A and B are shown apart, each in its own frame.
Chain A
Amino acid sequence: MIRFSDFSRETIFLSRQPYVLIFLMIVLALSIFSVWSGIAETQAQQNTIESLLEKDNVDRAQALEKQSSYGSAAYYSFHLTYFPPSPLAFAAMGQRDIYPWKHRIRMLALEGQIYETDADNPELSFLGRFDFAFLISVLMPLFIILLLHDIRSSEREAGRFDLLIVTARNQHTLWTARALVLSIALMLVLLLPLFVGAAIMQASLSKTVLMALITLAHLLFWGAITITVGKLMAMRGQSSPRIASALLALWLTLAVIVPVVSDTAINKTVKSPNGGDLLLLQRETVNDAWDLPFSDTWDAFLSKHPDWAEHTQMESSFEWKWYYAFQQVGDQKTEDLSNAYRNAIAKKDTAAGVVAFFSPPMMTQRLMTSLADTDITASLGYEQRVRDFHQSLRYFYYPLLFNKSEFNLQVMDDLPRFLP
């Protein structure tokens, strides 16, 4: 049983070691940096969204003012959709630099618009962000290995081992107390900035606590492994560098090799339609419609919207209702391919979730991004909301177009608004 006195003795003891203190200070600085840069980026995104929303309203109002028909109103008015960063996004930026979190769409065929990406600087995405999730999932194991691998072996190498175990009332409490003090100190310097950041960003307490628990679980995993391997190898007389090498090899396997090899395997097994095919098909269908008999478009359109069957007569060779009908038909024809494309992403994500069971660093990363709503699921969810919003635009305009209503700017006040 570890007594409080063991604990306080080791705390005082370790606090007198300058290396330990410097190490912990550096980790604290890293944690502060990760949280600071996360907050800076999240706030920049929030500001961007705010200013875009403002501009979006002005722009749409200006565009609508000049219109004289609902058809051209729909053609010229764009709508901002966006996916604001969650309060915890600062801790795990996740996939937000790759998947779009803002789109401006209009009532044309959605498949032609949704793959447009207003992505981040690719070179920065390539280098990757130093966020809290990265600190915990990839670096923390290394910190733990550095701090805890030689708890026993360093004493043996310094010639104090025998004296220590003969003197100590119980040698296990000695090692356990040291490991605990170091782990708790590491935990504190890692988590303190997170809590401050969460308070600044007003993140929900429960999610912040969950985030801390994930950190704790990951720390426990590596702590247990490091101590066990350290003990077993030290008992066999292995030197500290050898113990650390073995642990680093394990880290390399779990943090690098398993994810990388699985990624290659997943990409080989999960078949995904090629984006190029999707784009070409969507363009062909939309453009071909101009040369096809009207009935082709109407038949396909009415199969989904039979309500408008009585309103398909054409008075000239161009009418907006027909124009939007073939835009919709374009989406309908690419629907299978587009679904398959998204399903492939979701499938790969699911497979990656399975792989994560064999890679605690990946597991940590996934859990954190999922808590912060910055994972692939969240991005696909946003895409779905964009699709739903686009749908609501269609339902708004169709009655106006098919019933040949006189254009009235006031009606546009009821335009659907995107809600994140």
Chain B
Amino acid sequence: MNATKQIMLDEWRYWQRTKLATTVIFIGVVLTLASVVVNTIEVRQAADERKHFQQVSESRFLEQPDRHPHRMVHYGHYVFRAPSPLSMIEPGVDAYTGTSIFLEGHRQNSATFADQRQSSGLTRFSSLSPAFLMQVLVPLLMILVGYACITREKEAGTLNIMLTQGVKKREVLTGKFLALVGSGLLVLLPLALASIWASVTGESIIVTTGFVVGYFLYILIWGAIVLWVSTFSSRKNTSFASLICLWIALCILIPRISSSTAASIVPSPGKLEADFAVLEELRKLGDGHNASDPAFNQLKANLLAKHNVNDIADLPVNFRGVVAEYSEEKLTKVLNQFAEIRMQEEVSQAEIARHFGWLSPTVSIRTFSMMMAGTNLETHHRFLREAEALRYEFIQSLNHVHQHKLDYHTDINRYRDDVVARVDAGNWNILSSFSFEPQPGMARLHQSLLYSLQLLFWCIVTLLLIKRASRRMEQ
């Protein structure tokens, strides 16, 4: 153990003396720190802003005057998605999905106003997020710092001196590995602090711990990759060039190739195409605005029979409201069916890309990080589903008001000047308030299981590679 420690300390002293390594590490720490600070401020602002909009939207709804209830169905409601605490580290898909949805009767709108549509277009390759720095830049920093950790000793002949003096190969490798991982951990520090901060502001501790552990594994993996290449190469130049090639392949190429492959293999499901199918179904269902649509004849007959009357005007409920409720229900079924298919397709497309995690640890950590931070595609879908549930609930409550609080006769004569077809504004209280909560920690941990397996797989693979390379280390 003592030899290991000595080798680690010696490596650090070497970095300190050559200055290149210390400069690189310094830059890494400063960049991460800056990005953590900038992102924390931005996410807080966004959170406050969206909370504010949510409140405004709810109070506006409640403040609406006496009206015809169907007007409120079209007046609709807005919901805003609050950012998850860890999105200050891993913004994930948040910038690419809209963060607000307009909820109204008869339609499922998509989320609008994605940040990227309002950006300068400069951040398509890189972003200032701490996650990007950790995933893409930290491996590069570790390469610059450590590419020669073994090859340098080989070229100078000091490796053989060490080994002939009885230092074990394992001790040399462990010492160098710890030195390398140490440099990565320094850069991880700001991120760990930010995660603690996220715990303080309400994120589950399991999640933040798991999150930091994931990045720790990632640093171990890259430390091992750097050490492996340095061990099997005979010259500094070869180890450097090989590591840079590996970095380009693993950190830049494969993530992009994964996305292009997924997009080319599984064609993107368009919402518009689904819309046509929905419209087709709707025409069969009948137009809920038009109670005399023949599509509702059966409904009418059933209702008349049930209440034992001959004319819809004699029904104890407002038939137009009944139709509105009935058609909204049918329509929502169809809409949900298509929305689910679309979400399924999106997830299976994303999963193709995620399987590239077996080819690149960067893809694994990226997926893992999004899953843990709750900035993944599935969370966005959950937002869409929860918004839809809210939409259906308040629309149907309004239709219920339409049925029971508005007289049929008044309703059909609503456009006549002497008729006031309105209900009391107090009825608007049916709107329940919306707040999008992050998934519980265990659920997120469960979701990211496969991707933590990918990370472990990489740990094992790289350790095995080092073991193999160490056999011919003395040569």
The reply to whether A and B meet directly (CB within 8 Å) is yes
Which A residues are within 8 Å of any B CB, using their own CB? 30, 33-34, 36-37, 40-41, 44, 48, 51-52, 55-56, 59, 62-63, 80, 95, 98-99, 102, 104, 112, 115-131, 134, 137-139, 142, 146, 150, 154, 157, 239-242, 244-245, 248, 252, 255-256, 259-264, 266-267, 272, 274-276, 279-280, 283-284, 287, 290-291, 316-318, 344-345, 348-349, 351-352, 355, 361-362, 365-366, 375-376
Instruction: Tell me, rounded to whole Å, the shortest Cβ–Cβ distance linking A305 to chain B.
Output: 24
Kindly name the residue among B98, B380, B416 whose own CB sees the greatest number of chain A CB atoms within 10 A.
B98
**Selected contact of B93 from candidates A123, A138, A351, A366, CB within 8 Å:** A123
Known: A33-B260, A245-B20. A266 touches B377 (CB 8 A): no
By the criterion CB–CB under 8 Å, are B38 and A51 in contact?
Answer: no
A-side contacts of B248, CB under 8 Å: 139, 142
B-side contacts of A349, CB under 8 Å: 120-121
Q: When each residue 113-126 of chain B gets 1 if its CB lies under 8 Å from chain A and 0 otherwise, what string results?
A: 11011111111111
Q: List 11 A-B contacts (CB under 8 A).
A: A33-B260, A44-B268, A52-B270, A98-B117, A125-B116, A142-B248, A240-B240, A244-B240, A260-B123, A274-B49, A275-B113
A-side contacts of B253, CB under 8 Å: 30, 130, 139
In angstroms, Cα B271 to Cα A56, docked, is: 14
By the criterion CB–CB under 8 Å, are A275 and B264 in contact?
Answer: no
By the criterion CB–CB under 8 Å, are B125 and A256 in contact?
Answer: yes
Nearest B residue to A275 via CB reads B113
**Chain B interface secondary structure, helix, strand, loop or mixed?**
helix
B-side contacts of A344, CB under 8 Å: 118
In angstroms, Cα B260 to Cα A37, docked, is: 6
In angstroms, Cα B74 to Cα A279, docked, is: 14
* B60 located at the interface, meaning its Cβ lies under 8 Å from any Cβ of chain A in the complex: yes
Kindly name the residue among A122, A316, A355 whose own CB sees the greatest number of chain B CB atoms within 10 A.
A122
By the criterion CB–CB under 8 Å, are A279 and B273 in contact?
Answer: no
By the criterion CB–CB under 8 Å, are B270 and A116 in contact?
Answer: no
Known: A52-B272, A118-B272, A255-B125. A126 touches B245 (CB 8 A): no
Nearest A residue to B98 via CB reads A117
A-side contacts of B245, CB under 8 Å: 146
By the criterion CB–CB under 8 Å, are B96 and A125 in contact?
Answer: yes
* B36 located at the interface, meaning its Cβ lies under 8 Å from any Cβ of chain A in the complex: no
In angstroms, Cα B350 to Cα A315, docked, is: 56
* B78 located at the interface, meaning its Cβ lies under 8 Å from any Cβ of chain A in the complex: yes
A-side contacts of B124, CB under 8 Å: 128, 365
By the criterion CB–CB under 8 Å, are A123 and B236 in contact?
Answer: no
By the criterion CB–CB under 8 Å, are A262 and B122 in contact?
Answer: yes
By the criterion CB–CB under 8 Å, are A129 and B417 in contact?
Answer: no
By the criterion CB–CB under 8 Å, are A264 and B96 in contact?
Answer: no
By the criterion CB–CB under 8 Å, are A287 and B255 in contact?
Answer: no
* B237 located at the interface, meaning its Cβ lies under 8 Å from any Cβ of chain A in the complex: yes
Q: When each residue 368-381 of chain B gets 1 if its CB lies under 8 Å from chain A and 0 otherwise, what string results?
A: 00100000110010
In angstroms, Cα B97 to Cα A283, docked, is: 22
By the criterion CB–CB under 8 Å, are A120 and B272 in contact?
Answer: no
Known: A62-B283, A248-B144. A122 touches B122 (CB 8 A): no
By the criterion CB–CB under 8 Å, are A128 and B122 in contact?
Answer: no
By the criterion CB–CB under 8 Å, are B109 and A116 in contact?
Answer: yes
